[in-house]
Amino acid sequence: MSLTVAGSIAFDSVRTPFGERERMLGGSAVHCSLAASFFTDVHVVGPVGSDFGDEHIAVLDGRGIDVSAIERIAGGQTFFWRGHYEYDMNVAHTDDTRLNVFGDFEPKLSNAASEADTLFLANIQPDLQRQVRAQCSAARLAALDSMNLWIETTRDSLVAAIGEVDCVLMNDAEIRELAGQPNLARAARSIMELGPRIVVAKQGEYGAALFTPSGYFALPGFPLEDVRDPTGAGDSFAGGFLGYLDGRAERDGGHLVLDDATLRRAMAHGTVLASYNVEDFGTERVSRLKRSEVESRLAELRSMTEF
Amino acid sequence: MSLTVAGSIAFDSVRTPFGERERMLGGSAVHCSLAASFFTDVHVVGPVGSDFGDEHIAVLDGRGIDVSAIERIAGGQTFFWRGHYEYDMNVAHTDDTRLNVFGDFEPKLSNAASEADTLFLANIQPDLQRQVRAQCSAARLAALDSMNLWIETTRDSLVAAIGEVDCVLMNDAEIRELAGQPNLARAARSIMELGPRIVVAKQGEYGAALFTPSGYFALPGFPLEDVRDPTGAGDSFAGGFLGYLDGRAERDGGHLVLDDATLRRAMAHGTVLASYNVEDFGTERVSRLKRSEVESRLAELRSMTEF
């Protein structure tokens, strides 16, 4: 069992009320892979430029992530994002985005990456997501994320991509926008009519909600008094969620269980990884996270939601 | 044991994407009292005008609520609110507010109302809240709600009123505004430094969070595919929450328990009553609600938050 994560590998320059960083390691595939690496074997797929150094590879490699499917484009520049947050850190303000090597990216997966049982198509152009999906035909659980840009500019491709996955993980506002339906429960049902049997609505600090054919589940965000940088929280959630499901299947002898009870535990793992992600800039907190800290926060989360 | 609820008794004219009503029974004290009436004895306190008819009294009386502390102002007009909601029903748009008899209201509580063990000061001018609080000196659990208007115009009075209660129930945005602190956990702690030992942050469709000296708890909103009118949801939450606590103390021989486990169950009762409130216009749904429906939705809520 292993998880392939395809998405952006990036340099992020971020300013929040609590500090700033220039060109730190980031990107959806990076945040997701690091989070998932606590639970299962991970292959990370995406392009980088000549400016991507060994010290950046080492952050992924140090967590045991398979970096052989990272494609290095000679002479190219790594995807770059500059943004900032005001005191309301639910809203990211983008100041600059440079696709760089992502502009001409044509995914070519390694054998190991293409044979993974679980696949996450992080938020990239939906035709690219479909190309990766086609190369991972063995995946028994495929999930995707997307964003308002693709809903508004490449809607047909996005709908086709959604029809080819089992699970959608998106922000609740984007689920409503995609469905053209302000009621979240109805919007999630209409996404399910496109194909997926699992819809996860990410709700920022409010937590996340899970919709399946048989039920509904919701978890609050883990309450934190110190949030330094929310960048990557949603991808860390996806990494904890999918990494837990894949790792659990590994322990079960390859039997991938997607019943409601298991999906709920996966939601809790996603919530915990997202909560650590935001405690420091970029990948800094999750890079130094210990498995014992994951377990202790899972226990805390359980105790603060029981009644 | 009984609960006194002081606040507005109103006529509301409301339009939502799902219909409209002219001059229906509403107001914070009405919504709260109806919700609480499922769990304990309720006294409702507030002024009405000559236009307030027996049929409106009958809605409250029909749920066993003590209406003897409703003050009828001869020749006066009942408080009136006109508003509408777009498809995003988290946001109320106010089109008209007429204080009418509320403009000169001087609370004079009946003996029964002033001797209540539990008191809810619904969202009214904070000096009025303090007058009611002073008349209910026997209350062992006093709670209040407020709004941005009072934070911005009568902040000192509001802070004084908060210092005289045990529990604050407010929208999360207003807790942040009052505390001048965007982090909700920190904002709740700073409200507790004003006096209250219980802070409930109402979060609309996202649910509600509970802060106490010893812990944190959060519940998602009950997911509904059909929301017709959100007016009064927060007051129904407060009624379920405080009504449960007071009713439970009644069953315990007058022993008012405010430990975290009991407060969590109170949060669940508030969530259920709020969810029924929004299923139809004004008081229509809660007026015809059955206790068995409360119990069945409590069980559903529990099952959709366990992991």
What tens digit of pLDDT does each residue of B117-154 get?
999 999 999 999 999 999 999 999 999 999 999 999 99
What is the pTM assigned to this prediction? 0.93
In three-state secondary structure terms, A165 is coil
Asked if B223 lies within 8 A of A184 by C-beta distance, the reply is: yes
**B220 interface with A at CB cutoff 8 Å:** yes
pLDDT band at B89 (very low <50, low <70, confident <90, very high): confident
Of residues B88 and A296, which shows the higher confidence score? A296
Asked if B89 lies within 8 A of A186 by C-beta distance, the reply is: no
At A6, the amino acid letter reads: A
Kindly calculate the radius of gyration of chain A based on its CA atoms and give it in whole angstroms: 18
Asked if B307 lies within 8 A of A185 by C-beta distance, the reply is: no
CA geometry: angle A9, A11, A14, nearest 5 deg: 130
Asked if B304 lies within 8 A of A224 by C-beta distance, the reply is: no
Question: Does position B263 have pLDDT exceeding 90, yes or no?
Answer: yes
Among the listed residues B186, B259, B166, the one whose alpha carbon sits nearest the alpha carbon of residue A307: B259
pLDDT band at A88 (very low <50, low <70, confident <90, very high): confident
Task: Identify the H or E element spanning A209.
Answer: strand A208-212
Distance from the Cα of B49 to chain A's closest Cα (Å) equals: 38
Among the listed residues A144, A110, A176, the one whose alpha carbon sits nearest the alpha carbon of residue A241: A144
Q: Least CA distance to A260: which residue of chain B?
A: B307
Can you give chain B as a three-state secondary structure string? CCEEEECCCEEEEEEECCEEEEEEEECHHHHHHHHHCCCCCEEEEEEEECCCCHHHHHHHHCCCCECCCEEEECCCCCEEEEEEECCCCCCEEEEEEECHHHHHCCCCCCHHHHCCCEEEECCCCHHHHHHHHHHCCCCCEEEECCCHHHHHHCHHHHHHHHCCCCEEEEEHHHHHHHHCCCCHHHHHHHHHCCCCCEEEEECHHHCEEEEECCEEEEECCCCCCCCCCCCCHHHHHHHHHHHHHHHHHHHCCCCCCCCHHHHHHHHHHHHHHHHHHCCCCCCHHHHCCCHHHHHHHHHHHHHCCCC
Nearest to B209 among A220, A225, A302 (CB): A220
Asked if B218 lies within 8 A of A224 by C-beta distance, the reply is: no
Question: Does position A90 have pLDDT exceeding 90, yes or no?
Answer: no
**B89 interface with A at CB cutoff 8 Å:** yes
Summarize pLDDT for B187-244 with one digit per residue, the tens.
999 999 999 999 999 999 999 999 999 999 999 999 999 999 999 999 999 999 999 9
Q: Least CA distance to B215: which residue of chain A?
A: A304
Distance CA B303, CA B297 (A): 10
How much is the pLDDT for A33?
A: 98
Distance CA A226, CA A207 (A): 16
**A55 interface with B at CB cutoff 8 Å:** no
Nearest to B183 among A209, A227, A267 (CB): A227
**A145 interface with B at CB cutoff 8 Å:** no
In three-state secondary structure terms, A42 is strand
Q: Least CA distance to A227: which residue of chain B?
A: B183
**A94 interface with B at CB cutoff 8 Å:** no
Nearest to B307 among A189, A205, A267 (CB): A267
Question: Does position A89 have pLDDT exceeding 90, yes or no?
Answer: no
Distance from the Cα of B305 to chain A's closest Cα (Å) equals: 6
In which residue are the tokens 């590998």 written? A9
In which residue are the tokens 């990211």 written? A92
Distance from the Cα of B11 to chain A's closest Cα (Å) equals: 27
**B41 interface with A at CB cutoff 8 Å:** no
Other C-beta atoms closer than 10 Å to the C-beta of B210 total 25
How much is the pLDDT for A251?
A: 86
**B288 interface with A at CB cutoff 8 Å:** no
| Burial of residue A207 (number of CB atoms within 10 Å: 0-12, 13-18, 19+) | buried
Mean of the per-residue pLDDT values of chain A: 96
Distance from the Cα of B56 to chain A's closest Cα (Å) equals: 32
pLDDT band at B87 (very low <50, low <70, confident <90, very high): confident
Question: Does position B2 have pLDDT exceeding 90, yes or no?
Answer: yes
Distance CA B53, CA B49 (A): 9
- Report the percentage of chain A scoring pLDDT > 70: 100
Least confident segment among A85-89, B109-113, B207-211: A85-89
Q: Give A2's DSSP letter.
A: -
Among the listed residues A167, A161, A154, the one whose alpha carbon sits nearest the alpha carbon of residue A130: A161
Question: Does position A265 have pLDDT exceeding 90, yes or no?
Answer: yes
Q: Least CA distance to A201: which residue of chain B?
A: B206
How much is the pLDDT for A230?
A: 96
Cβ neighbors of A58 (< 8 A, separation 6 or more) are: none
Question: Does position B64 have pLDDT exceeding 90, yes or no?
Answer: yes
Distance CA B249, CA A246 (A): 48
Of residues B240 and B252, which shows the higher confidence score? B240
Kindly calculate the radius of gyration of chain B based on its CA atoms and give it in whole angstroms: 18
Mean of the per-residue pLDDT values of chain B: 96
Summarize pLDDT for B9-48 with one digit per residue, the tens.
999 999 999 999 999 999 999 999 999 999 999 999 999 9
pLDDT band at A68 (very low <50, low <70, confident <90, very high): very high
**A217 interface with B at CB cutoff 8 Å:** yes
Question: Does position A132 have pLDDT exceeding 90, yes or no?
Answer: yes
**B205 interface with A at CB cutoff 8 Å:** yes
At B36, the amino acid letter reads: A
ipTM: 0.89
Take residue A118 and report the two structure tokens written for it: 């679980």
Cβ neighbors of A299 (< 8 A, separation 6 or more) are: none
In three-state secondary structure terms, A119 is strand
**A264 interface with B at CB cutoff 8 Å:** yes
Q: Least CA distance to B301: which residue of chain A?
A: A217
How much is the pLDDT for A16?
A: 95
Residues of A in contact with B219 (CB under 8 A): 220, 305, 307
